[in-house]
Amino acid sequence: MQFGHTHQTVSLSERFFRSVCAMPALNSLIIAEMEFMASRFLYLAAIWCTRLCDHHFSIKAVRRRLSALDRGIVLETSPANLPSAAVGSGERLRHIIGNNRKRIINSTEMVSAASITDASLHGWGAVFIPDSGDVKIAGGKWKRKSFLIMQAEVRAVRLALSAFSAILPRTVDAWVDNTSLQGATTKGSSRSHAMTWELQRIY
């Protein structure tokens, strides 16, 4: 993400923008590419408050194929064969990404506190949006560099919660663009020692 501190705006990073634009046509994806696409689109929806119900059938189609992958029915290299409705919905989202518009953080859009973080190997950024709409932004360069992007992502979450600790409510929705981190957060641990170390300092 790219944060506009002056006008309290959020837009997609150039890396995210390029990764989505470089994806093959949605009607020719394999399962692994479809999973990548879905994770990026869900992240986009969180940033821009896109209504996921408008893409119900696309999400349903992706879920069915990932379920088949988990059960060993298909392989990561198998064709996704997404239905035309899902392809059309995905292409509309890709068009939105192509515009890469800046989103102004508007308090009327938020019904609960949320923390949105992003990280690279060079630094991190976070935006905190409470019920009051009094948006806070934090971030900076790493004092101690990470060797893994997963470790950088979870460290960004930890630093964000620490930066906003004085105003944190009892529950916070934490948004992060990393499926490995999402799974590790649910379990409270990871196969990566570095990620587990960071997670333990959150809990």
- Greater confidence (192 vs 114) lies with 114
pLDDT for 32: 92
φ and ψ of 156, to 5 deg: -60, -40
pLDDT of residue 111: 45
Position 85 pLDDT exceeds 80: yes
pLDDT at 185: 63
The upper half-sphere exposure of residue 120, i.e. CA atoms within 13 Å in the direction of its Cβ, equals: 10
Supply the pLDDT for residue 108.
45
* Contacts for 53 with CB less than 8 Å, ≥ 6 apart: none
What one-character-per-residue DSSP string does 59-117 give? Answer: HHHHHHHHHHHHTTSS-TTSB----HHHHHHHHHHHHHHHHT--EE--GGG-SS-EEEE
Q: Give the helix/strand (H/E) hosting 186.
A: helix 179-187
The string of pLDDT tens digits covering residues 123-180 is 999 999 887 778 889 999 988 776 678 888 888 888 998 899 888 887 777 777 666 6
Q: Hey, is 56 helix, strand or coil?
A: helix
C-alpha to C-alpha distance for 50 and 4, rounded to whole angstroms: 20
Strand order in the sheet with 2-4: 2-4, 9-11, 103-104
Lowest mean per-residue pLDDT among 7-11, 87-91, 169-173: 7-11
